[in-house]
Structure 1
Amino acid sequence: MIMMSVLFACTSNLSGGRWSTEGSDPTVEAGGVRYGGGDGETEDSGDQQDSGDWQDSGAQDTGDSGAWTGQWGEITRQGDAFGEAWMGFTQWDGTASQCDVAYPLENPTPASGCATCTLQTTFTLGAPEVEADVAGACAAQGWTGLQGTTITIGHAPPESLWMQANGTFSAVGWSSLDAALWTFERDL
């Protein structure tokens, strides 16, 4: 699981570092985890080409240190059905993972409410797998004890992750969707 998180961070950094900070002002917290942000559907340029220019909402810049604190997901798809699905939280200090916890995404249910999304689904977080927890970093971030929490996420072309909070969807990060795989990440 650590390698998957590190791979996500490294791959995104090498491909242009498109880690969106859009909507980083939280609108709801569940078990210490921030979901949503912004004032509703805040991003819909209508363009189908990715300019690579994400709006910066003022989140702390980690510079070239390689440090990253964020949320990621990887969901396999088999036609219209979901296969293996995971969502996790990572705190990477640039040299080692301080926290890496992953939750299986269970009970996928179609969702609605995101007009821009081509796919939107509600999942329930399963039992966590903690791969790294240096000096209680995972609990300090509020990333433990989330089993049973539901999360509603969506993908909007070309590469936007949307999350629902308080009944409203907001663009919060980067997302890639094809016929076999849905991956996403966002800064926290």
Structure 2
Amino acid sequence: MTATAKPLPAGWTIRLHRVHNLTVLTLHDEHGTDREIGFCPLTPDGPQDLTVSALDTIAHPRLREAAQNVVTSFYDRTAAARHHRDAFDRAVPDCRVLLGHLRARLPGCRADLGTDPNELTVTLTLTATTRAAGPLHALLARWPGHTGHGGSLADGIDQDLDSSGALTAALRQDRATEFLIWYRGQC
């Protein structure tokens, strides 16, 4: 293992599943939930399935290195997500209060923070029932960051009006930050 080797978190395992000459490595948390997946091509013969709770129990060096890469990737992705969340919290320290105000101002509107699984950044999803879709749309239309060139939606904002009339607006981290800072001045 390399000098940056990281251990499996306590109670976690890695499942190695060989398919032909490829091994799929899946990191599982203490509840058995998949947390990270990696691959090791051109895998040597060995057991079809193996679950380990310590990396040093993997006999083949290339498989052990691939397993370490999966663990390292998990730690790195977790650190990146934490970094983005901390930056968002510093930019909008009153986020929870603002979202509570928004929900109270627009009954039938949900405001949920999440994490983009690819970018590992904060997302804000505003979902309005048919009754609240108009007021939510009007609020977003008043926000200067809502539209880009030519009046189209600005980059980083997705909006969907479904067949029932419910509206969903998804904002990536930079747009969510801008929107909440603007909304603070509207309260």
| Larger Rg belongs to | 2
Q: Which has the larger strand fraction?
A: 1
Report the TM-score, using the length of structure 1 for normalisation.
0.22
Report the TM-score, using the length of structure 2 for normalisation.
0.22
Q: Which has the larger helix fraction?
A: 2
